[in-house]
Amino acid sequence: MSKSLHKGATRIADIAPETLAALSCGELQSATLTEGLAVDQSVLLRTVFPDLSAEALSSADALCQQGIVKRMQGMGRLLLNELGSDGIRQCLVHHSDTVRGWACFMLGAQPGLDIQARLEAIRPLANDGHFGVREWSWIAIRPHLSENLELSVKLLLAWTQAPSERLRRFASEVLRPRGVWCAHINPLKQQPALALPLLSALRSDEAVYVQDSVANWLNDAAKDQPEWVRDVCRKWLQDNPSSATRRICQRAQRNLR
């Protein structure tokens, strides 16, 4: 079995023992969400950082009893407290996607960063080649961006023009009103138009990866503001009836028909 490319399991019970061991030792990246959830982060932490204090290791063992998001958040805070910025640098370049995910939450927990600095710091992880790291990147800093939506939208507008579809997708995904595995952003549930500049900039994006995020953003909004979503889609289709826009609008309204 290659340690850089494997088919991946969709059920934890189907993960071969040698695959799970390689995942938990940081030798193998997860190929599926199931594999990412199955990683023994206590083993991984001891493998990557064998010199951590006994107190830190005990705290890590307790964290591993929690759900995956709290586990990742806790590991990020723990490593930041123990290793500071040097720990971020080590995690950023590690082969394991879980370890790079810890870096996301270390940056999310790092004090003293304004929104612009936090966005600049998370950018390499938002553009990571692994799907899981890209998800952790927006989950980790979403709370900070939701505290100042006007500034966040303004700064993210530049991301909508990035050459990388991963970064363009981040600009939409990070501020979804409901999101996945994260707290809702109530102001955007009530006033989704606050983020309309971002969505409009991406309404004809050629990348399906981006289209799906914009459509899901609008589908979130439709749960609270269905007429607003209908109006936005109607206007978009009148102004720019490209195939990408049609696909976004169709998927955005999938629960309204």
| Structure confidence by residue, pLDDT tens digits, 186-220 | 999 999 999 999 999 999 999 999 999 999 999 99
Q: Is the pLDDT of residue 6 over 60?
A: no
Per-residue pLDDT, averaged over 249-256, amounts to: 94
Q: Which residue has the tokens 């994260």?
A: 182
Per-residue b or e along 35-69, where b marks 16 or more CB atoms closer than 10 Å to that residue's CB: bbebbbbbbbbbebbeebeeebbebbeebbeeeee
Q: Across the chain, which distance is largest between two alpha carbons, in Å?
A: 63
Determine how many CB atoms are found less than 10 A away from the CB of residue 255.
Answer: 11
- Give the Å distances, CA to CA, from 245 to 114, 207, 214, 239: 34, 11, 10, 10
Q: Look at residues 141, 179, 186, 178 and name the one whose alpha carbon lies nearest to residue 159.
A: 141
Q: Cα–Cα distance between 60 and 246 in angstroms, integer?
A: 47
Tell me: the pLDDT tens digits for 42-56?
Answer: 999 999 999 999 999
Instruction: List the domains of the chain with CATH numbers.
Output: 40-145 (no CATH), 148-257 (1.25.40.290)
**Burial (CB count within 10 angstroms: exposed 0-12, middle 13-18, buried 19+), residue 107:** buried
Amino acid letter, 150: E
The structure's pTM equals 0.92
Q: Which residue has the tokens 């004090």?
A: 111
Tell me: the pLDDT tens digits for 223-245?
Answer: 999 999 999 999 999 997 899 99
User: Quick check: 222 and 253 in contact, CB under 8 A?
Assistant: yes
